[in-house]
Amino acid sequence: MLSEISAELLETMKKSASVLKRAEIPFVLAGGFAAYARGGTSSDHDVDYLLREQDVEPALAAFAQAGFRVVRPPEDWLVKVFDDDRLVDLIFRPVQHPVTDEVLADSEVMPVNAVHLPVLSATRLMEHKLLTFSQHHCDFARALPLARSLREQIEWDRVRANTKESVYAQACLYLLSLLEVIPPQ
């Protein structure tokens, strides 16, 4: 069952998806709510969408017109909008890779609480999670539940290939294989 804050965020997810759909802006649901849509655990702090950088300004205009508060943070890979105090991240360069038509196509339209949305593939969700690890942040506690809950939906050979340059991702994948969550390489 969703917590109260997650239930409120679910309403924000529906409302914000509606804004993007009406504005005809290509997007995919990502992050915790994409995991939730695919059978994983729900998000408790924000809603994440991926969109192309060229669609950021039209998206912000649509959100402002719909009554969302627009924030341009110092980070150069996302913008933020707020539905009251509930955060929606509009990410155009996750893990230092631009969102492209190919990224948007790596999704599937799924029902999420009675709204049909394009949801990022479990494989790319896992890749993004692993590629966030660095010498400054390497907490596998968030990747392990994602891998466990979505393991049958994830193309592990693709994840290994697309994260091979990250020693932190490789360490997490090794741990997942030791825990018998994924097959060894």
pLDDT at 1: 46
**Would the pLDDT of 182 be above 50?**
yes
Model confidence over 129-177: pLDDT tens digits?
Answer: 999 999 999 999 989 999 999 999 999 999 999 999 999 999 999 999 9
Residue 56 near residue 25, CB atoms below 8 Å: no
User: What sign does the CA torsion over 8, 82, 107, 171 have?
Assistant: negative
Cα–Cα dist 35/46, whole Å: 13
Residue-level pLDDT at 11: 94
Neighbours of 165 (CB within 10 A): 8
Residue with tokens 């390497």: 138
Q: Per residue in 32-88, pLDDT tens?
A: 999 999 998 766 789 999 999 999 999 999 999 999 999 999 999 999 999 999 999
Q: What is the SS3 string spanning 92-160? A: CCHHHCCCCHHHHHCEEEEEECCEEEEEECHHHHHHHHHHCCCCCCCCCCCHHHHHHHHHHHCCHHHHH
Q: Quick one: average pLDDT of 12-36?
A: 96
Whole-number pLDDT of residue 4: 53
> Residue 7's pLDDT is what?
85
- Determine the pLDDT at residue 3: 53
- Find, among 4, 21, 15, the residue nearest to 84 by Cα: 15
Closest by CA position to 169, among listed 133, 143, 145:
133
| pLDDT tens digits for range 110-138 | 999 899 999 999 999 999 999 999 999 99
